[in-house]
Amino acid sequence: MEQFTKRWLIPVLLGVSSFALDFWSKTWVRANLDYGQSQTFIPGFLNLLRTVNTGGAFGIGRGNGIVMTILASAIVIAIIAWAWKREKSGNGLAGVERCGVGVIVGAAMGNLWDRFTQREVTDFLEFAFIQFPVFNVADALIDVGAGLIIIGALFYSKTPEKQADGDCCGRDHHSEG
């Protein structure tokens, strides 16, 4: 159990940090921007534009908030179950994959928090240089987490010993005192 806790400490902290960053950013936007108000954030690259989304990513399922909340909740549960099953199977996740799971779960919980407390998700990040749906910090972090899982799956050893012992930074816990 101690080794399990040690392997999952950084991913859990990343998940909590992802949730907190998303929560803080949405709270700031709701307090400082009116609905539909746009403000330059990084000139020529990123604007802040307060909008809401009752659907899923990129407006999929708009107007079906309850269905999207149930679906998002089921996906979070499925990701946790997948990670748990992999850990218990003896073919544990690589450190980078565990970190990806932590980031995805924390960020998804940020959007779920919005769904449960606001009945909609606050979106506010808008690329200034390309036509792209407005999104939020959680959406971006979910992409980062998915990228980490893909990197882990593609580039890290598939042997159970290597999978289970590295942390998010690739350090081997066996080599530490």
Active-site residue (options: 139, 143, 165, 167): 139
**CA proximity to 146, closest of 81, 79, 100:** 100
Does residue 123 carry a catalytic annotation?
Answer: yes
Active-site residue (options: 22, 114, 123, 167): 123
The structure tokens listed for 65 are 């908030």
**CA proximity to 65, closest of 75, 76, 53, 73:** 53
- How far apart (Å, rounded) are the C-alpha atoms in residues 44 and 67? 36
**CA proximity to 52, closest of 123, 112, 143:** 123
Q: Which residues are known to be catalytic?
A: 123, 139
